[in-house]
Chains A and B, each alone.
Chain A
Amino acid sequence: MMDGGRKTPGQNDRPLVMVKIVGGVSRLFVDRSALLQFIVQLDEAFMRPGCLYMIGETTQLFEGWRDWTDQIEFAAQVANEDKAGFAKAVMAVQTRGDVQLLEESPADVIPLPSGFEQRARSVEMPEANRGFGLRLFHFDPYSVAFRFIARGDEQDYRVVLRYLEHGWVTVEELNVMLDALLPEFTVEVIQQDAQEFRRKYKGLIQMWRASPEHGIP
């Protein structure tokens, strides 16, 4: 997937696609219909095989867990010879719609827990009523959870809590994966500060335990 989750995360040179629209709040929000339109238009523009991974709130918007998000966040896996074409397709679709896009794999920021490829969730989109060259997935929720905890904005915690509420991740599995993962964090990268990560992670678990929805002892 992507450029390989074990390759110097946070230090690769893959360009970050972040298209920001200048304007007021009226253009900051993406609802589910805008997300579906983006996916269809991207597939039409690209016309090549590949994998498109939705991430975080974008996953949760697609699944109907929330009504809007402020940007479409995704990662993609395409053949090397198609990468330029994919970037071009993203730009073409972006210029057609007033949405913010963020293309960033969790692998760009942190090492990913083993088995992340297998935990990606395949997605069907019957509303589109068409075949797709791009196969749709939700990125492994455990990887997304760790990446979002590492960033640690308020909305990042809410994304992870929502994964917990819906049973897409469990505290027990997070704990097990984290034990294996933290030794791989490097002190060279801000986002992989293991001490700060532990503080944030503990905060998340406390938030989860304080929430009425939690299901752990």
Chain B
Amino acid sequence: MIDVDAAALAKHVEVVEGTALLRQDDTVREFKITELPSKFIRWQLDYKASIYDAIEKDQYVAFNAGHLPVVGTWDKDSQVPNLANKGVGFTPKDEYIDHYLDLVESAVAQIEELPSHAVNDTRTLRLATAREFYAHPEHIDWRRLGLLEIFEGSSYRNLTENPLASVLWTGTSPVFVSFQADFVVEIITPEDPRYRFSWAMRRLFEYEPFHVVQTLYPYAYCFWVYNYKDKTPKRRYPGKRSDNTVDDGRGEKDSGSE
């Protein structure tokens, strides 16, 4: 584990009443925290439901696009960002976190009574636990993500220096859902309920074939959303609209061009 002062790192970012305060180089920058858009949330919920269905049927999960976006981080002097696919999840709102922490940690305690290879024996419990959380989207804090740090590599080094990140999700054909969101990153330590929740959710599916088994998670991250953009591709038509693109908003195709 890299020798860093985690408590000091955690103080770099503080969220107060919907605003993230980033302290860097004797300055404080403010970021207004926002909730991810409903279209993205719908995609996430549907995608997770489809993954849980596949796990239930013990089907091959080729990729988990909702869970494994590309995460970009950079230090202040770098010419290019570091890009890495990382597992991301969501955490309950603060007022619900004790309830769901108890739910998920209890399930983890039960499955740990069995050998780790007994995945078929615990699948029902594990799926029911995860589905219970995502069955209540109103209990989820859609302003933040939870990520577990494993390797303490480039992303980690960048985030300790410059706790900002961008994340790009890309879905599959034929829609190719694509969203970018930008974040202020809080580094959190193992006693934090958000770390514990992210760890326990990961633990539910640690031994499924789509995960590389890990045992060490020195830190976790809370990614706070301050900006997002829907980048899902649409057909472009010649026309007079300001963005020269179309959506499905009952509009007619413009026939002429400037």
Q: Which residues on A are within 8 Å of B, measured CB to CB?
A: 10-11, 16, 24-29, 67-68, 70, 108-109, 150-155, 157-158, 187-191, 193, 196, 199-200, 202-204, 206-207, 212
Contact = CB atoms under 8 A, between A and B. Distances in A.
B252 A189 contact: yes
Nearest to A204: B174
A193 B175 CA distance: 16
B79 to A, nearest CB: 35
B44 to A, nearest CB: 10
B220 to A, nearest CB: 23
Contacts of A108: 250
A70 B42 contact: yes
B35 A154 contact: no
Contacts of A29: 137-138
Given A155-B43, A207-B174, A25 B142 contact: yes
Contacts of A200: 174
B76 interface: no
Interface residues of B, number: 28
A203 B41 CA distance: 22
B38 A25 contact: yes
B174 to A, nearest CB: 3
Given A25-B137, A207-B174, A212-B57, A155 B35 contact: no
Contacts of B41: 25, 28
Nearest to A67: B135
Interface string B234-252: 0101000000001010111
A207 B176 CA distance: 13
Given A25-B35, A25-B137, 8 more contacts: A29-B137, A151-B248, A154-B175, A188-B252, A188-B255, A206-B173, A212-B57, A212-B59
B171 A154 contact: yes
A157 B174 contact: yes
Interface string B167-200: 0000101110100000000000000000000000
A109 B251 CA distance: 10
A70 B38 contact: yes
Contacts of B46: 154-155, 158
A25 to B, nearest CB: 5
Contacts of B42: 70, 154-155
A26 B174 CA distance: 30
B39 interface: yes
B99 interface: no
B137 A28 contact: yes
A28 B135 contact: no
Given A16-B250, A26-B138, A70-B42, A199 B174 contact: yes
A190 B246 contact: yes
Contacts of A155: 42-43, 46
Nearest to A158: B46
12 contacts: A25-B140, A109-B250, A151-B248, A153-B39, A153-B248, A154-B43, A154-B171, A155-B43, A188-B253, A202-B174, A203-B175, A204-B174
B155 to A, nearest CB: 28
A151 B59 CA distance: 29
